[in-house]
Chain A
Amino acid sequence: DVKVTQSSRYLVKRTGEKVFLECVQDMDHENMFWYRQDPGLGLRLIYFSYDVKMKEKGDIPEGYSVSREKKERFSLILESASTNQTSMYLCASCEGPNTEAFFGQGTRLTVV
């Protein structure tokens, strides 16, 4: 059974903290993604990676960075968390263009 695992289901962090969201996939996929999900806005792409150590900005990269040191792991970093980054964060992976994307269960982050 294919799996994308996000390290936390729920996180509460303080404004200004550095936050790490971790994602691991066991499918040997080249491509990994971080999305943010907000009511009425759908899923918006923050960053994606198509190879180890490679990254590309998505549609809303401001305030975020990413790290992909190993093929199976893709980390999202909030350098200095702010309240407007309170959201559901979804990690996904896929084999290549126009193939099924597999999602993790999501991390609900609250910044207070």
Chain B
Amino acid sequence: GENVEQHPSTLSVQEGDSAVIKCTYSDSASNYFPWYKQELGKGPQLIIDIRSNVGEKKDQRIAVTLNKTAKHFSLHITETQPEDSAVYFCAASNRNTGFQKLVFGTGTRLLVSP
């Protein structure tokens, strides 16, 4: 089955710096890669996703890149703000199974200091 590895487990940056979180996946059939943000006391919430037919996607200060050959994808946050502090999870799934089965990474705790 699919296995997703995520690094780093913790990341501390100064406000205004960029943050990069990296994930690798094992199943070459995976074709959907979402990123979730989990704030304290809340459930994870989707912030951006990418499908295997594109290599990069941007939404304001966040972007995701996908390298299918190397089987890795990354989340980039620019101009970080204190409210970006949270735990971020990457995930992968394969719609060819006919239903959604997301496999998550182990999470990255991002701390943005003012």
Residues of A within 8 A of B (CB): 4, 31, 33, 35, 40-45, 48, 50, 56, 58-59, 90, 92, 94, 96-101, 103-106
Q: Is B1 in the interface zone, CB < 8 Å from A?
A: yes
- A98: contacting residue among B1, B93, B107, CB under 8 A: B93
Cβ contact of B97, chosen from A97, A101, A103, cutoff 8 A: A97
**Chain B residue nearest to A45 in the complex (CB):** B101
- Given known A40-B9, A42-B105, contact A104–B43 (CB-CB < 8 A): yes
Within 8 Å CB of A4, what residues of B?
Answer: 43
Closest to A4 in B: B43
The residue among A41, A43, A106 with the most chain B CB atoms within 10 A of its own CB is: A43
Contact present for B32 and A101 (CB under 8 Å): no
- In this complex, the interface size class of chain B, counting residues with CB under 8 Å from chain A, is 20 to 34
Contact string, B14-32, partner A, CB cutoff 8 A, digits 1/0? 0000000000000000011
Q: Which residues of B contact A33 (CB under 8 A)?
A: 100, 102
Contacting pair A43 B100 (CB below 8 A)? no
- Nearest-Cβ distance from residue A56 to partner chain B, whole angstroms: 8
CB <8 Å contact, A43 and B43? no
Alpha-carbon distance A100/B49, docked complex (angstroms): 9
Kindly provide the distance from the CB of A43 to the nearest chain B CB, expressed in whole angstroms.
Answer: 4
Known: A97-B93, A101-B46. A31 touches B99 (CB 8 A): yes
Nearest residue (CB) in A for B90 is A42
Contact of A98 with B31 in the complex, beta carbons under 8 Å:
yes
Task: Please name all residues of chain A whose beta carbon is closer than 8 Å to the beta carbon of B95 when the two chains form the complex.
Answer: 97-98
Q: A43-B89, A48-B101, A59-B1 known; A100 and B9 CB under 8 Å?
A: no
In the bound complex, do residue B99 and residue A50 qualify as a contact, i.e. CB atoms below 8 Å apart? Answer: yes
How far, in angstroms, from A104 to B38 measured CA to CA in the complex? Answer: 11
Are B46 and A100 in contact, CB atoms less than 8 angstroms apart? yes
On whether the beta carbons of B44 and A103 are closer than 8 Å, the reply is: yes
Beyond A100-B34, A100-B46, A100-B49, is A43–B98 a contact (Cβ under 8 Å)?
A: no
Q: List 18 A-B contacts (CB under 8 A).
A: A31-B99, A33-B100, A33-B102, A44-B104, A45-B101, A48-B99, A50-B98, A56-B99, A59-B1, A59-B103, A90-B44, A97-B95, A97-B99, A97-B100, A98-B93, A101-B102, A103-B45, A105-B42
